[in-house]
Amino acid sequence: MEYYAGEYDVIVIGAGHAGSEAALACARLGMKTLVTAINLDSIAAMACNPSLGGPAKGNLIREIDALGGEMGVNIDHTMIQIRTLNTKKGPAVRAFRAQADKKKYSDRMKEVLENQENLYIKQTEIVEILTENNKVTGVITNLGARYDCKAVIVATGVYLNGKVVIGEVSYESGPNGLFPAKKLSQCLKNLGFELRRFKTGTPARIDAKSVDFSKMIEQPGDEKMKYFSFMTDNIEIRQNSCYLTYTNEITHKIIRDNIDRSPLYTGGVEGVGPRYCPSIETKIVNFPERESHQIFIEPEGLNTKEMYVQGMSSSLPEDVQIDMLRSVKGLENCEMMRTGYAIDYDCINPKDLKLSLEAKHIDGLFFAGQINGSSGYEEAAAQGLIAGINAVLKLKGKEPLILDRSEAYIGVLIDDLVTKGTEEPYRMMTSRAEYRLILRQDNADLRLTQIGYDIGLVTEERYKRFIQKKQNIEKEIERLKKKTIGANEKVNEFLRKYKSADIKSGISLYDLIKRPEIKYRFLVEIDDEMPELTEEEAEELEIQIKYEGYIKKQLAQVEQFKKLEGKRIPENIDYKNIRGLSSEAIQKLSEIRPVNIGQASRISGVSPADISVLMVYLEQLKRR
């Protein structure tokens, strides 16, 4: 029996990493917001790995943080280890990766949501999205409650029609034994969405008491603490180590001997899995020449003995999983606490969305996270934040926030999904970004804080701190350009100390820093006017100076990119009327409806010749 239960501005379906960011953004921007979850214990749950960050993904967290999102702050307060990856490589690929206390991470995010003004939380399952004249009007729950609203954000994660598969056994389930969402899939089909089946998986969890860590390589955290949020100053944490071990020929033989029992190869798993995070059985089949694969044993929290077996994701039968685990050095006597599994779930074709993450054919309906075909906590949170912001901007009658590929990894992520689509769970990687030298994790605040402030998500405190940092860097760069040091014995002795060539005439400190071996902090030995910059300010300044030439080249490329992005395509254009376009281009352009020439040029099947024809047509249209 249906009953009227209330009215909200925005309703967010799902409270995982996407739903949490979406709900917080809407509520913080003044909208009366309802966020629902099938189980409130699953809010921001880390259903798979107990970690955040890494190459490209760490950049996403810092961008979320710079825009006023919560993920960076949350991981800083709940991490149990932090490491900086790729320290010997260039700044474009350096990244933080943190191990989380996964229960504390979820609990703290739940607490933040519960204490957020304008935000209401309910444990319920949404089974229907109501529309009228292709416009969202409300939702209905499985218990018959009808909530009216002006916008809906779907962030269902892997719960939508979820099915867990372990060997020959399969059953309807969300992750970690939680209930799946069974009825919303049919509603989305009725609303005209093309649903597809994707798959993800997770490895076993084992009891730390049964692991022999002495046979493994310890992986401690960084000695010096680093933080994801630009607002975190100093949080004392007790860092826990991870441990590295390897599979071997015995492990591989166990898997090969039982491959006929793997649902990935028997057809028990329907969905398409992530290429960049394959199961252990896929690794053994696809890379038969490899003698071993890395396995990381990672703590799931400070108050639990559960350890996550990173690199051994599997849906093999339970008995096979036990055998293969015990074949690994250090795990000979391990006790499995949770069995690894694969999970199939429904998602939409992201090409059905605008760059704002709003559905093309239904007004006020937004999608974020794994429902859009992506994988990963960070990718989900980034989409949730943007969907939340754009739902609010929509209700306020303002233009949506579209971050382009030159502004943020978030822009690359959303543009890839919406413009190119994806045939497998999408994962963010540095190689996907053309302008990664200017999309570094260290400068995310300089790129995006102003945007977050203008929208209203960035607090005054954060904004003041950002302005101060920006001014400190700019002022010091100007000083370094102006200050020249002479070619004297003291200076040359300093240069020889750091294995740098002597100078024969005066040189600016700015040009001196351009030498690879000279660090900014070294200058204190020859420069008595150095200001006290923070470590982050000094790092940013040094990167800007050392990579100035490369950055200028990339900025010139961005300028060309912006010209194409600036050539708008009318919304009502009929591609069938444009003579000279290939039939494939007509079909793809009509389906995706790109907003500008830049987006059109990135659509698979649209050739440079088609783009030339389109540009000529737009020029003629302009003249008319």
Distance CA 227, CA 511 (A): 30
For residue 457, how far is the Cα from the chain centroid? 19
Q: Where are the alpha helices (DSSP H) in 205-290?
A: 249-257, 263-266, 280-286
Task: Render pLDDT for 377-433 as a digit per residue (tens, 0 to 9).
Answer: 999 999 999 999 999 999 999 999 999 999 999 999 999 999 999 999 999 999 999
Res 269: pLDDT: 81
The reported pTM is 0.95
CATH topology of domain 3-44+104-201+345-435: FAD/NAD(P)-binding domain (3.50.50)
Which burial class, exposed, middle or buried, applies to 195 when counting CB atoms under 10 A from its CB (0-12, 13-18, 19+)? middle
Radius of gyration of the chain (CA): 26
Res 537: pLDDT: 95
Q: Is 531 helix (H, G, I), strand (E, B) or coil?
A: coil
Res 371: pLDDT: 98
Q: Residue 123 forms beta bridges with which residues? A: 37
What share of the chain has pLDDT > 70, as a percent?
A: 100
Res 206: pLDDT: 98
**E strand segments, 467-506:** 484-485
The highest-level CATH class for domain 205-341 is mainly beta
- When the candidates are 1.20.120.80, 3.40.640.10, 2.60.40.1730, 1.10.10.1800, the CATH number that belongs to 470-550 is 1.10.10.1800
Res 316: pLDDT: 96
Res 463: pLDDT: 97
Q: Has residue 134 got a pLDDT over 80?
A: yes
* Domain ranges (residues) in the chain: 3-44+104-201+345-435, 205-341, 470-550, 567-623
**Token pair listed for 392:** 């609010």
Task: Render pLDDT for 572-599 as a digit per residue (tens, 0 to 9).
Answer: 899 998 999 999 999 999 999 999 999 9
Res 267: pLDDT: 81
**Token pair listed for 35:** 């966020």
What share of the chain has pLDDT > 90, as a percent?
A: 91
Res 623: pLDDT: 84
Calculated CA dihedral for residues 233, 236, 238, 244, nearest 10 degrees: 10
Query: Residues with Cβ < 8 Å from 258, sequence gap 6 or more?
Result: 316, 317, 320
Res 1: pLDDT: 80
Q: Has residue 295 got a pLDDT over 90?
A: yes
Mean pLDDT computed over 216-237? 93
Res 111: pLDDT: 98
> What is the CATH code of the structural domain delimited by 567-623?
1.10.150.570
Q: Where are the alpha helices (DSSP H) in 228-333?
A: 249-257, 263-266, 280-286, 318-326
Task: Render pLDDT for 270-293 as a digit per residue (tens, 0 to 9).
Answer: 888 888 788 999 999 999 999 999
Sign of CA dihedral 76, 78, 83, 85: negative
DSSP state of 460: H
Res 136: pLDDT: 98
Task: Render pLDDT for 453-485 as a digit per residue (tens, 0 to 9).
Answer: 999 999 999 999 999 999 999 999 999 999 999
Task: Render pLDDT for 333-373 as a digit per residue (tens, 0 to 9).
Answer: 999 999 999 999 999 999 999 999 999 999 999 999 999 99
Mean pLDDT computed over 65-69? 98
Spatial CA neighbour of 62 closest among 532, 571, 479, 444: 444
Distance CA 555, CA 413 (A): 20
